[in-house]
């Protein structure tokens, strides 16, 4: 594996870095950043800035207005975007839209791409991914899927309740996972403004960065024509893996950028603050925490780049992405937690962005598979195949 970056990718990295620091960071105190993400008018303003500098949806193919970045390219650019919590919004690379764009490019028909992918990739609309359900339905165990899809002529009738559906409030359309009468899962595309789709409530959560927040969605006799099935009937779980393995990794990329931001704030404070006759950074208890931060940041980046490289070779990368998800989510949490400690009182208040980042990254150890589920999956593989090392 070659760790050097091409001149074009270096230029894109520096261009993204300048854009985030010069155009996006100054907007972080905008009051339109709410408890459930940026308002729609604020999101559109941010997207317009990303479009203006040619950085909108860089992971999408040029056919749909993007730069066609491969996974290694995304690793570099997405990390830079994540340096501001508004950066992924401005560049239209936040979940769930980023993963949905990838999935639609891979699976959707030409007609579906024109109807849903093109406006999504342009930032004109948002989307959501409806899979998780209240107990006893699907969560970490997708096989527990309880939402049903019953065929009625040339339509399917969908019933069920979904929750923790990121971005549902204000989304233009949804990708819905439902179980057919044969027990197999199928993905359906559905506009959110039609009868049969009800947003029951928006859920309060620790994180506040995702546009539209997280919602409970009820599907009441939702009629979906067969032409709006995404991919082939009965292959929903297979397509979910097409989406989820890369999406786990892009979460790692973005939150690594946020961890870097927290570390820069804490390191800058420790270099200036004098305590007991010397700068705070000179006290080993603090200096060692900052050193550990740099170790965790470096190791996270290497894990991300390696997994991205594996995906770019055409491999599924399931094991690698699970390992990266566990390691990065926990390492990023350690980094931000240490930053809170270094900042002392400022770390637990809104005096710096670190307190906000602390709340945002905590959820990362849960969504897209809790650390325990990924460890269990890896352990099951070891039980079947033994160690690969």
My answer on whether 210 and 280 are in the same domain is no
Q: How far apart are CA 72 and CA 9, in angstroms?
A: 10
For residue 299, the enclosing domain spans 237-385
Q: Are residue 281 and residue 358 in the same domain, yes or no?
A: yes
Instruction: Decide which of 94, 117, 137 is a domain's last residue.
Output: 94
Q: What total of structural domains would you count in the chain? A: 3
Q: Is the domain of 22 the same as that of 41?
A: yes
Q: pLDDT of the chain along its 389 residues, tens only?
A: 788 999 999 999 999 999 999 999 999 999 999 999 999 999 999 999 999 999 999 999 999 999 999 999 999 999 999 999 999 999 999 999 999 999 999 999 999 999 999 999 999 999 999 999 999 999 888 889 999 999 999 999 999 999 999 999 999 999 999 999 999 999 999 999 999 999 999 999 999 999 999 999 999 999 999 999 999 999 999 999 888 888 899 999 999 999 999 999 999 999 999 999 999 999 999 999 999 999 999 999 999 999 999 999 999 899 999 999 999 999 999 999 999 999 999 999 999 999 999 999 999 999 988 999 999 999 999 999 887 66
Question: How many Cβ atoms sit within 10 Å of the Cβ of residue 135?
Answer: 8
Which residue's structure tokens are 């960071």? 25
Question: Six-digit token pair at 87?
Answer: 């950066």
Residue 363 is classified by DSSP as G
Q: Which CATH number belongs to the domain containing residue 162 in this structure?
A: 2.40.110.10
Within a domain: residue 209?
yes
Q: Do 314 and 365 lie in a common domain?
A: yes
Give the residue among 95, 115, 92 at the shortest CA–CA distance from 104.
115
Residue after which a domain boundary falls, among 234, 267, 298? 234
Q: 359 and 254, same structural domain?
A: yes
Helix, strand or coil, per DSSP, at residue 252: helix
The angle at the Cα of 208, spanning 236 to 334, to the nearest 5 degrees, equals 90
Q: Could you tell me the two tokens for 302?
A: 């290497």
User: Which stretches within the chain are classed as H helix?
Assistant: 7-19, 40-52, 71-81, 87-90, 97-107, 110-112, 118-121, 236-272, 284-312, 318-343, 354-362, 371-385
Q: Which residues pair with 339 in a beta bridge?
A: none
CA 228 vs CA 121, 167, 175, 176, 245: distances in Å: 19, 21, 10, 11, 24
Structure tokens at 331: 């390492």
Picking from 214, 234, 254, the residue at the C-terminal end of a domain is 234
SS3 of 144, please? helix
Q: Give me the CATH number covering residue 64.
A: 1.10.540.10
Residues 251 and 306 placed together within one structural domain of the fold: yes
Q: Are 193 and 265 members of one domain?
A: no
Q: Are 203 and 215 in contact (CB under 8 A)?
A: yes
CA distance linking residue 222 with residue 195, whole number of Å: 7
Dump pLDDT digits (tens) for 179-221: 999 999 999 999 999 999 999 999 999 999 999 999 999 999 9
Q: Any idea which residue has 């940026």 for tokens?
A: 38
In angstroms, the Cα distances linking 276 to 186, 290, 319, 343 are: 64, 19, 48, 16
CB burial of residue 1 (10 Å; 0-12, 13-18, 19+): exposed
Query: Is residue 111 situated within a structural domain?
Result: no
pLDDT digits (tens, 9 = 90+) for 333-360: 999 999 999 999 999 999 999 999 999 9
């Amino acid at each position: 594996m070659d760790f050097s970056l091409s001149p074009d990718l270096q230029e894109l990295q520096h261009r993204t870095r300048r854009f985030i620091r010069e155009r996006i960071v100054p907007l972080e105190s905008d009051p339109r950043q709410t408890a459930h993400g940026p308002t729609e008018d604020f999101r559109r303003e941010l997207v317009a800035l990303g479009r203006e500098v040619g950085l909108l949806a860089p992971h999408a193919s040029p056919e749909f207005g993007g730069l066609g970045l491969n996974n290694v390219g995304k690793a570099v650019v997405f990390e830079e975007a994540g340096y501001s919590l508004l950066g992924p919004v401005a560049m239209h690379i936040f979940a769930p839209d980023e993963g949905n764009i990838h999935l639609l490019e891979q699976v959707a028909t030409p007609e579906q791409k024109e109807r849903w992918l093109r406006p999504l990739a342009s930032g004109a609309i948002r989307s959501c991914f409806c899979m998780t359900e209240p107990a006893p339905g699907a969560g970490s165990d997708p096989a527990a899927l309880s939402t049903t899809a019953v065929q009625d002529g040339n339509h399917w009738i969908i019933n069920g309740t979904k929750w923790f559906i990121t971005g549902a409030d204000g989304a233009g359309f949804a990708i819905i996972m439902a179980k057919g009468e044969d027990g197999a899962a199928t993905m359906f595309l559905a506009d959110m403004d039609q009868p049969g789709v009800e947003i029951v409530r928006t859920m309060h959560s620790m994180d506040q960065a995702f546009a539209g927040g997280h919602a409970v969605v009820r599907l009441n006799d939702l009629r979906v024509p067969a032409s709006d099935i995404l991919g082939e009937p009965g292959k929903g779980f297979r397509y979910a893996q097409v989406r989820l393995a890369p999406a786990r990794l892009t979460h790692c990329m973005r939150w690594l950028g946020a961890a870097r931001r927290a570390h820069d704030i804490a390191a800058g404070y420790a270099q200036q603050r004098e305590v007991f006759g010397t700068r705070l950074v000179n006290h080993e208890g603090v200096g060692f925490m900052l050193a550990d931060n740099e170790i965790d940041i470096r190791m996270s980046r290497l894990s991300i780049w390696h997994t991205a490289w594996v995906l770019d070779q055409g491999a599924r990368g399931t094991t690698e992405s699970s390992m990266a998800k566990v390691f990065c989510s926990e390492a990023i949490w350690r980094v931000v937690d240490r930053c809170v400690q270094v900042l002392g009182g400022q770390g637990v208040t809104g005096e710096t962005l670190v307190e906000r980042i602390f709340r945002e990254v905590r959820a990362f150890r849960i969504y897209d598979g809790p650390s325990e589920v990924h460890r269990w999956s890896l352990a099951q593989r070891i039980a079947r195949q033994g160690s690969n090392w």
